Structure 1
Amino acid sequence: MSEERETITLYDEEGNATEFEVIGVVNVEDNDYAILLPLDGEDEETAYIFRIDVEEDGEEVLTVVEDDEEFEKVKQAWEALSDEDFEDENWEDEE
């Protein structure tokens, strides 16, 4: 049974589209952050962190995290969450 991935397409200043897989959302200090992994194949090992902000009309927008301290807090929270998920996995010995 295949698991369907949640994806999102973001556009840069020149209008170039990049498709990302949403690998998770983490909450840090009452803010939600999306952890996105590009699907273009060029940079499969690098995840990106975006803060999920809500505009006055209620629409959610992704904001680049530019503050180094904020970025590190989110990165550490995501790594801790990922480590917990990894430890909870049931692994089968394939030998």
Structure 2
Amino acid sequence: MENDVTTIILNDEDGKEVEFDVVTKMDIEDKEYVIVAPKDKEEIDEAIALRIDVDEEGNEVLTTVEDEDEFAMVEEAYETLFSEDQLN
């Protein structure tokens, strides 16, 4: 059986390529977000919230969510999504 997990490669602050698994994608208030976790980690404790923005050329770019209020909103949506999954 094949794994349905999508993998993306991002550069860390040192410019080194790091492979991430996309945990989920969410739409919140007309913006799209992805939650990613390092591929080599078993725990999702190190998950990162990224916003999907569009640059001047129309290309999708991933932006780290740095605003505390925006991050709290994404975190709450993520926790709600996964708490519902666990009930089913």
Give the TM-score band, short-chain normalised: 0.7 to 0.9
Root-mean-square deviation over aligned CA pairs: 1.7
Q: Which amino acid aligns with 1:28?
A: I
Structure 1 counterpart of 2:46, one-letter code: T
Counterparts in 2 of 1:11-90, with a 5 A limit? 11-41=11-41, 44-88=44-88
Residue 4 (structure 1) shift: 3.3
Name the structure where strand makes up a greater proportion of residues. 2
Q: TM-score, normalised by structure 2?
A: 0.88
Q: Which has the higher helix share?
A: 2
User: Would you say the 8 A contact 1:51–1:64 is kept in 2?
Assistant: yes
In the other structure, the counterpart of 2:6 is 6
Structure 1 distance, partners of 2:32, 2:44, is: 23
| Deviation for aligned residue 1:42 | 8.1
Q: Which runs of 5+ in 1 are unaligned?
A: 89-95
Among the aligned pairs, what percent are the same residue?
A: 44
The normalised TM-score by structure 1 is: 0.82
> 2: CA distance between counterparts of 1:12 and 1:54?
20
Deviations 1:34-64 (A, max 9, x none): 1001113386532100000011222110001
Q: How many residues align?
A: 88
Per-residue CA deviations over 1:18-45 (Å, capped at 9, x if unaligned) read: 1100010111111111100111338653
**Aligned amino acid, residue 57 of structure 1:** E
Q: CA deviation at 1:85?
A: 1.5
